Structure 1
Amino acid sequence: MPGSAGGGERHVSEPGNAVRPETSVAADRARAVLPGSISALLMLAVALTGATRPRLSWDEVTSAEVSQRTLGQIWRLIHNVDAVFGTYYAFLRFWTSLFGDGELSLRLPSILAMAAAVGLTAELGRRLFTPLIGLTAGVLLVIVPNTSRYAAEARPYAFVCFFSMLSLLLLLVAVGGRDAARTAGPDAAATGVPAARRRYVWVLYGGAVLLLGAFHLVALSTLAAHAVAVGIVARRRRDPRLAGIWLLTVVVAVAPLAPLAGLGARQDSTQLHWVPPITASAIRRMPAEITGSSPVAWLLLGMAVLAVWHPARRLVPVAVLALAPVIAVAVASVLVTPMWVARYMLVALAPLALLAAVALAAGAPQPRTWRGLLDGRLLRIGAVLLLLAAVAVPGQRAIRQPTAKNGPDYRGLAALVGRYEQPGDVIVYPPRNRAMRAGMDYYLRRLPSRPRDVLLSIPSTRTGLLIAAEHPDDAARLAGSTGIWLMVADRRPDPLTVRPGLRELLTTEYAEVGRWKRKHATAVLYRPRR
């Protein structure tokens, strides 16, 4: 309780501590927030750097298109396709109604979510280990190229990383009660914390688990780490009720996700048809695909493996958190349907960084002055981080290239159309292609004029799908046009194979006057024969 000593400086008493000056308590509190704050701000700055340079990916143009639908249209969509992204689409609908659907606006929620995820990772490291380990883990995540890539991606994966870290941190608070002093770890005693507050934290934890699954069901595999952490604490306290409370909270949290899981299971043939079966070579490539850089991946994994030489009690839940998503996706890929995709396992990056940080910074002194930063062990940590950053530079540059994202270069194709388009031109897209029409529409609308999409019959917003319906009489509708732009979503030698019904028209009445190849796409311009 607060008190006074002889009318001088006020003091406060803390459990297990002698009376300490209030200024010292304030300084400790300030130091406590530094690892998370510094890491989050650093991640925010790095993620914003060049965030709009890459054009939207084929998945991002889908996000952009669906974000302009009404909630009723989104509800209809998820009953046919993309059910697992329904929560994200609904959120993006709300966001773009306030801030628009420009490239930065579409990506900003993910940038903020990833910055928060990195900050929470640093805070988790501080609570489980030391402030230095927390800060080191945060900096490691900032260095990893794919942390920036998926921060600047208008898809739900950054949110999954955020809710993964938030749920584990809330679980730590719920079972530890206090600020989980770094010497206590996840099984810190819950004494001194009001029961009402603990119940409130459990409710927040359940909400975080619900949102984790709502943004991506595969991420619920991280609950294996939660089970291990609770099991360790319950065993040490000889309190099986703790495990029961956790299990009840999780069951209540995930129960509302059952309809979503049912829809997703029925849609797996359309959602994952493009994923090849898991192979040994695919497994070998996965570390580089998760991190965005092969050298960074193996350096990070090497440091993480070295963490096994440190006390295991607090490392076990972190190790399980790193392994559970990878194992879950691998098992599902073998037994259910192929889903061996790097972005589905992005949640493994944060615990991997924590393990690497433990190996790198455990036992190092906690600097309290500028002079303390000159300690030799701290300098070695800095040198390793600088080495890793230097190794990551090519990967960081690569993810910021204009065509770094998956799919065709819609922005480049739209600029091409804008350069050569004439009044009366029309544009033709590959049939039943979900992304080419959405991507071109997104960028063409920024031009003063654009070719007419004369084959469009029913927009995708009204079909309840991601593809639009087209008029069947394609040749008749194109006849007489001053120019026909044919967009092909690959670089095939004969572009007319994508629209065989137009071959006679385009080879007899029109002549090809231009053909341009862009990433994963070909644009062909036809003009009437003179």
Structure 2
Amino acid sequence: MQAGAVRATIPNQPREAVEVRRARPGPAPSWVVPVVPSVVMVLLGAWGLTRQGSMWRDEAATWQGVHRTVPELWRMLAEVDAVHGLYYLLMHRMFAVAPDNLLTLRLPSVLAMAAAAAGTALLGRRLAGPWAGLTAGLTFTAIPSTQHYAQEGRPYALVVAAVVVASGLLLTALTTRRHAWRPWTAYALTMLVAVLLNEFAALALLAHGTMVFLAARTALIPWLTAVGGVTLGSLPLIVVSLGQRAQVAWIAPMTGARLLSVAGMVLAGCLCAWAVGRRRPDAAPAPVSLPALALPLLAVPQLLLTLASITWQPLYVDRYVLFGNVGLALLLGAGAERLLRAGRIRVPRRNWPLVAMPLLALVALLPVELSMRQWNSRVDDVLAAASEAEARGGRDGAVVYLPAARRDTALTSPDAFRGLRDVTLARNGPDSATLRGIEAAPVLIRTAMLRERRIVVISDLGIQHHRGTAVRDVAKREVLTEHFTLCEETRVRGRHVAVYERGATCADRS
């Protein structure tokens, strides 16, 4: 008798031994598919979450916004950052009930990305089977940009989670006959939340529309109705944010490297879609194939934002279309499962390599993952600059920010600047309904600075490297260059802190 066989007596048959081979192991329990990726994502998110106690400038904007009263926040959103309004309000409530620290700032993103990982796995299970779903969820966690934005106090992880939930609701709506309005309503409300968290989530709507048009045209009318509801609900935000377009003026034009990156992701998705083909006969019933959902979710937002950046205005930033990672993970997970099922890769237990591949990817990407958890994975660190300013500033003198946006150093750590007079500020942020306040006219800035003997300057690279043309910044630079002497300077985590004195040489300081 061969190894691994068991004896069994078949009823109504002679009582001789009959060899029966052990059955192959069945699929993993249903709860494993969403739980394992979400747990892995939580562990990856918790790993190095404080990033050496650092906070970069975008997170500083969140910090400033959520520490205002709700009326102050509403007035600010009418002038600036309306696109992040819902996120600021949610985080305002978060900080009202949780400690005032970096963990509170970033934990919602970790949890949202864990929910997105679980949702991606469920989508994969629904469209291509449990092993494809488990692989897709783990692949989603292994993508570096997923881990990057899971550790940021910004809304992008929440947007991804909302898009994943909306995608599942859309699939439900396409299969529901009785009370069909319920999943369509839930879909519209979830997509409205996604768009209110960030307007670029509207590109996911277009990806869903592409899927409906290609695979379920009978649902075009209810989908268009849902889109109409999302549009009406987000119209006030759209109108206000159009008046704040200057906030995206910093985005650089598309480069050749960026174009190649987008093309590479879309091409990889297309190859996986070809490998997956149509839905497996033994997969769970679904209205569309996995490629019909995943490929548009990956490709449509990427290509549309790229086209807009080339023909209209630079707008492409990877975090604006971060939900494309869901489509990529679904395609990679289902593609790997299909290749193994086709017998092109022969292993003793053919299902386990599906789990091993994304885990091996996590190991292979360890240097990248380590670098993402260092302070220098972001542009700067406002907290380190504030500590340096406190050490060098003392309790007497003035402080000047060049450009004015570097005032976020003090707004996130006001205690570090007690005793230093902000001599260029005319109206603070809450009073002026702006994020960082309004500075005085250039002539008043000159007068105020010339009254001071000692000035601490917070800048990006130092005034000798500052090339800004804003008239207020030019005035600051000219006064410092012509009337003050540089006595101390240091470069700290992406920012420059310097001490200037007037009327004495640096050696005369006591």
TM tier relative to shorter chain: 0.7 to 0.9
Check if 1:214 corresponds to 2:214.
Answer: no
Determine the structure 2 residue equivalent to 1:3.
Answer: none
What is the deviation of 1:50?
0.7
- Contact (CA 8 Å) 1:413, 1:440: kept in 2 or not? no
Check if 1:399 corresponds to 2:372.
Answer: yes
Name which of 312, 317, 321 aligns with 2:297: 321
The one-letter code sitting in structure 2 at the alignment partner of 1:418 is: E
Determine the structure 1 residue equivalent to 2:397.
Answer: 425
**Cα-to-partner distance string for 1:123-175 (whole Å, 9 max, x where unaligned):** 11111111111111111111112111111111111111011111010111222
Determine the structure 2 residue equivalent to 1:469.
Answer: 438
> SS in structure 2 opposite 1:423?
coil
The one-letter code sitting in structure 2 at the alignment partner of 1:206 is: A
Instruction: Give the unaligned 5+ runs of structure 2.
Output: 1-25, 279-288, 342-346
Residues 465 and 91 from structure 1, CA distance in 2 versus in 1: closer, same or farther, beyond 3 angstroms? same
Determine the structure 2 residue equivalent to 1:442.
Answer: 412
- Contact (CA 8 Å) 1:475, 1:505: kept in 2 or not? no
- Contact (CA 8 Å) 1:310, 1:359: kept in 2 or not? yes
**Cα-to-partner distance string for 1:381-421 (whole Å, 9 max, x where unaligned):** 34533442233112211111112123x33222122223333
Determine the structure 1 residue equivalent to 2:457.
Answer: 486
- Contact (CA 8 Å) 2:195, 2:234: kept in 1 or not? yes
How far, CA to CA, are the matches of 1:206 and 1:392 in structure 2? 37
Residues 496 and 516 from structure 1, CA distance in 2 versus in 1: closer, same or farther, beyond 3 angstroms? farther
Determine the structure 2 residue equivalent to 1:136.
Answer: 135
- Contact (CA 8 Å) 1:207, 1:253: kept in 2 or not? yes
Determine the structure 2 residue equivalent to 1:381.
Answer: 354
How far, CA to CA, are the matches of 1:304 and 1:388 in structure 2? 21
1:326-405 matches, within 5 Å, as 326-362=302-338, 375-405=348-378
What is the deviation of 1:495?
6.4
Check if 1:284 corresponds to 2:282.
Answer: no
Indicate the percent of aligned positions where both proteins have the same amino acid. 25
- Contact (CA 8 Å) 2:211, 2:296: kept in 1 or not? no
Determine the structure 1 residue equivalent to 2:212.
Answer: 230
> CA RMSD of the aligned region, Å?
2.9
> SS in structure 2 opposite 1:337?
coil
Determine the structure 2 residue equivalent to 1:167.
Answer: 166
- Contact (CA 8 Å) 2:402, 2:463: kept in 1 or not? no
Instruction: Give the unaligned 5+ runs of structure 1.
Output: 1-26, 178-189, 288-296, 366-373
> SS in structure 1 opposite 2:67?
coil
How far, CA to CA, are the matches of 2:488 and 2:261 in structure 1? 39
Give the TM-score normalised by the residue count of structure 1.
0.78
- Contact (CA 8 Å) 1:424, 1:481: kept in 2 or not? no
**Cα-to-partner distance string for 1:27-56 (whole Å, 9 max, x where unaligned):** 99x922321121112101111111111522
1:11-410 matches, within 5 Å, as 31-53=29-51, 55-177=54-176, 190=177, 195-196=178-179, 198-231=180-213, 234=216, 240=218, 242-268=219-245, 270-286=246-262, 302=268, 305-312=271-278, 313-362=289-338, 375-406=348-379, 408-410=380-382
Name which of 416, 424, 441 aligns with 1:455: 424
**Cα-to-partner distance string for 1:225-257 (whole Å, 9 max, x where unaligned):** 32344346645xxxx3x4322221221232121
- Contact (CA 8 Å) 2:463, 2:477: kept in 1 or not? no
The one-letter code sitting in structure 2 at the alignment partner of 1:31 is: P
The one-letter code sitting in structure 2 at the alignment partner of 1:461 is: P
How far, CA to CA, are the matches of 1:485 and 1:164 in structure 2? 46
Residues 330 and 496 from structure 1, CA distance in 2 versus in 1: closer, same or farther, beyond 3 angstroms? closer
How far, CA to CA, are the matches of 2:408 and 2:492 in structure 1? 17
How far, CA to CA, are the matches of 2:69 and 2:374 in structure 1? 33
How far, CA to CA, are the matches of 1:284 and 1:520 in structure 2? 29
Determine the structure 2 residue equivalent to 1:5.
Answer: none
- Larger displacement relative to structure 2 (116-125 or 224-233): 224-233
How far, CA to CA, are the matches of 1:281 and 1:491 in structure 2? 30
> SS in structure 2 opposite 1:429?
strand
**Cα-to-partner distance string for 1:191-247 (whole Å, 9 max, x where unaligned):** xxxx34x43322211110111111122221222332344346645xxxx3x432222
- Contact (CA 8 Å) 1:230, 1:243: kept in 2 or not? yes
Give the TM-score normalised by the residue count of structure 2.
0.81
How far, CA to CA, are the matches of 1:258 and 1:213 in structure 2? 10
Determine the structure 1 residue equivalent to 2:19.
Answer: none
Name which of 476, 482, 492 aligns with 1:518: 492
How far, CA to CA, are the matches of 2:337 and 2:367 in structure 1? 26
What is the deviation of 1:105?
0.9
> SS in structure 2 opposite 1:32?
coil
The count of residues paired between Structure 1 and Structure 2 equals 457
> SS in structure 2 opposite 1:428?
strand
Determine the structure 2 residue equivalent to 1:414.
Answer: 386
What is the deviation of 1:362?
2.6
> SS in structure 2 opposite 1:274?
coil
What is the deviation of 1:439?
3.0
- Larger displacement relative to structure 2 (345-354 or 274-283): 274-283
The one-letter code sitting in structure 2 at the alignment partner of 1:490 is: L
How far, CA to CA, are the matches of 1:506 and 1:275 in structure 2? 31
How far, CA to CA, are the matches of 1:303 and 1:109 in structure 2? 29
